[in-house]
């Protein structure tokens, strides 16, 4: 068929597939959101490879409605931290409901976001709500779903590379368009600080839901 190429498929036995799946699950089950970062540098090529991996995600009509802003500059990170903390102070002092604040208590979060400066990199995915071709404004399809899949693949790639991250979602986040000079048809989704954990990093003692709680075979 024109426009198609043969799919390169590496067949595995059931035993090989099961072993790989179980090993990958055990590794991913160690993944945690980390808020205490080392300032140790990370190779730029590694960060670029992580973003390239996210870019392999499926998307509606293969339009790839995403842009990944990679921030290394310390002055820009400082601006992002100050703007994020300003919004977070408003959130914790009135925007968030009592139930929301109660649900956050086990995580130990507050309006202070020093990790936005300490981590050597920030990756900020933007969803492209529509596309511009010349003078035309064209539709993108399943934007939220497509970007969500790419984000999941990015977080997985970060863990697979032996790094840590945190999904930080100050709300609203339109300050990122201003600081990073992104166009109005793009919306920031999350801020991901990327790096190595601090030597004294701690994480909440949490348990994930069991398989029976999140799944059923029909």
Classify 36-197 by CATH class. Answer: alpha beta
The per-residue pLDDT for range 79-137, each reduced to its tens digit, is 999 999 999 999 888 888 889 888 888 888 888 999 999 999 999 999 999 999 999 99
pLDDT of residue 1 exceeding 80: no
What is residue 192's predicted lDDT score, i.e. its pLDDT? 98
Domain residue ranges of the chain, discontinuous segments joined by +: 36-197
CB-CB contact of 67 with 106 (8 Å): no
∠ Cα 186 81 117 (to 5°): 115
Would you say how long the chain is, in residues? Answer: 218
pLDDT in tens, 22-75: 999 999 999 999 999 999 999 999 999 999 999 999 999 999 999 999 999 999
Q: Is the dihedral of CA 141, 145, 148, 154 positive or negative?
A: negative
Mean pLDDT of 187-191: 98
């Amino acid at each position: 068929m024109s426009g198609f190429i043969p799919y390169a498929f590496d067949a595995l036995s059931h035993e090989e597939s099961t072993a790989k799946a179980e090993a990958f699950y055990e590794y991913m089950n160690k993944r945690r959101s980390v808020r205490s970062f080392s300032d140790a540098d990370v190779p730029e090529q590694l960060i670029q490879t992580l973003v390239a991996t996210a870019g392999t995600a499926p998307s509606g009509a293969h339009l790839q409605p995403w842009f990944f802003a990679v921030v290394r500059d310390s002055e820009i990170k400082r601006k992002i931290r100050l703007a994020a903390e300003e919004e977070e102070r408003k959130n914790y002092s009135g925007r968030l409901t009592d139930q929301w604040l109660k649900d956050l208590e086990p995580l130990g979060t507050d309006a202070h976001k020093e990790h936005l400066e300490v981590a050597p990199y920030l990756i900020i995915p933007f969803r492209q709500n529509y596309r511009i071709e010349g003078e035309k404004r064209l539709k993108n399809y399943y934007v939220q779903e497509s970007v969500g899949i790419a984000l999941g693949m990015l977080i997985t790639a970060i863990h697979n590379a032996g790094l840590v991250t945190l999904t930080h979602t100050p709300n609203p986040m339109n300050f990122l368009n201003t600081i990073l000079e992104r166009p109005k048809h793009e919306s920031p989704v999350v801020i991901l600080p990327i790096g190595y954990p601090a030597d004294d990093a701690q994480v909440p003692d949490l348990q994930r839901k069991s398989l029976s709680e999140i799944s059923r075979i029909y």
